[in-house]
Structure 1
Amino acid sequence: MTASPARFATVDTPPGPFTVVVGPDDVVLASGWTADVSELLPVVHRALRPTWVEAAEHLPALDKVAEFVAGDVTAIDGVPVRQRSGPFLEDAWEVLRTVPAGEPDTYAAFAARCGRPAAVRAAANACARNAAALFVPCHRVLGSDGGLGGFRWGTPVKRWLLDHEAAHAPVPA
């Protein structure tokens, strides 16, 4: 358990309110499209889950969310995130951060990117268990048929994110 309180703040985004929970060091513990912080706390690993949270007027991570919404879809790339689980999930969450904006993977391609091409279900599970939506961009993984697949915050939010990133992604060199 964290001895210091975590902080949270919410900002409006085109697909809806977006809330971020950070530890005392401003590292993102959880985030998602909700105005209710109590929806985020259960997804924080028990070893990282704060004993209490306090509202904050400003969090640095929300500056990056504003930049992302304004069109800099790479602004979220460097935001520090802390998640805990087994080795595969922790590795998969790091690998998710390498999927470029505007170039989504399928679950099969994501599994291969993780070095385990046969582990498609495990790759999908990594997306489903991701607590730090947007900063760990699980929305960039699609079904094998190219369909949206699932998303904790709803497929309309996932569609908006993918369309936004496609419209603003840097052109590959």
Structure 2
Amino acid sequence: MRRHLVTGPTPVGALTLFADDDALAGVYMTDHRHQPDVATFGPASDDDPFLLDVALQLAEYFDGDRTTFDIAIAAPGTPFQQSVWDALREIPYGETWSYRRLAEHLGRPGASRAVGLANGRNPVSIVVPCHRVIGADGSLTGYGGGVERKRWLLAHERAAEPAALF
């Protein structure tokens, strides 16, 4: 059963959580690049236990009380994208990896560009921490939710007391 929930305010703005059965299929920010049409998410739900648990875990993350998520994920993607998204979950909280390091971790050292494209298509932002991947020179390259949100998330994980964006 497909359904979605729009969260209240978070430090990075409202989030739309999309589930397919009892697995998370999407976390989208306002003006998120590559966001599907919300009409494909199924009905809105304000009392869905699974989505409310996802929202609670995200609130704990934003409060600084959670560094990992315990959420079933069913993000639609190619096998290569799935492998990249699985590897993203191995990047420790508060750390960053370059696209090259991520490609090497996957055993595909020449695939930095393909890894970057798959990273950019991650539909489960924050929970699958694509914000932890940066350019080889340390630059904050693109992020589906916007570079300012990426900067905020990285500062939050480094406990730098980032200011609220919204």
Provide the TM-score with structure 2 as the length reference.
0.84
Structure 2 partner of 1:142: 134
Gaps of 5+ in 2: 161-166
Aligned counterpart in structure 1 of residue 147 of structure 2, from 140, 143, 155:
155
**1:13-52 map, 5 Å:** 13-25=10-22, 27-34=23-30, 40-42=35-37, 50=41, 52=42
Gaps of 5+ in 1: 44-48, 169-173
Task: Give yes or no for the alignment of 1:5 onto 2:22.
Answer: no
Task: Give yes or no for the alignment of 1:88 onto 2:80.
Answer: yes
Structure 2 partner of 1:46: none
Q: Does the CA-based 8 Å contact 1:101-1:165 persist in structure 2?
A: yes
- State the distance in 2 between where 1:95 and 1:106 align: 12
- State the distance in 2 between where 1:31 and 1:98 align: 19
Task: Give yes or no for the alignment of 1:53 onto 2:43.
Answer: yes
Give the counterpart letter for 1:11 in structure 2. G
Q: Does the CA-based 8 Å contact 2:94-2:158 persist in structure 1?
A: yes
Give the counterpart letter for 1:140 in structure 2. R
Deviation at 1:94, TM superposition (A): 0.5
CA RMSD across the alignment? 2.2
Structure 2 partner of 1:171: none
Q: Spell out structure 1 runs of 4+ moving beyond 3 A.
A: 39-43
Deviation at 1:100, TM superposition (A): 0.7
Aligned residues: 155
Highest RCO, 1 vs 2 (Cα 8 Å, sep ≥ 6): 2
Structure 1 partner of 2:61: 68
Deviation at 1:73, TM superposition (A): 4.0
Deviation at 1:9, TM superposition (A): 2.7
Structure 2 partner of 1:118: 110
Deviations 1:7-44 (A, max 9, x none): 3231311121122111232x11111222x89x84349x
Please state whether the residue corresponding to 1:92 is helix, strand or coil. helix
Please state whether the residue corresponding to 2:152 is helix, strand or coil. helix
Task: Give yes or no for the alignment of 1:130 onto 2:139.
Answer: no
